[in-house]
Amino acid sequence: MLTELGNTLKGRLPSSMVEFALNYIQYNEFGLAFETLCDYIDEFNVKITNDEYQSILYIANLTDYNDSYNRVKNLHSHVI
């Protein structure tokens, strides 16, 4: 699911950045891949759809992601 989300961001984020983030999955660093994509969305002010935001929430919930820095919560402001 994270790979699919990353692929939907290509075009709004450079492909090389998406691939860099998703590459962490190969090293069993799913959480780092997720955080990196969330950071990129926020840092580069990428607009996301409500469906993409719901996918982010689902992934965070599924993985018991500790959103101590409000990475996920703050992405709501990027929804168009």
> What pLDDT, on a 0 to 100 scale, did the predictor assign at position 71?
86
Domain that holds residue 52: 2-78
pLDDT in tens, 16-67: 999 999 999 999 999 999 999 999 999 999 999 999 999 999 999 999 999 8
The pTM of this model reads 0.91
Which residue shows structure tokens 């607009």?
Answer: 47
When pLDDT is cut at 50, 70 and 90, the band that residue 13 belongs to is: very high
Domain count, the chain: 1
Quick check: 68 pLDDT over 90?
A: no
Which residue shows structure tokens 């997720």?
Answer: 34
CB 70 within 8 A of CB 57: no
> What pLDDT, on a 0 to 100 scale, did the predictor assign at position 69?
84
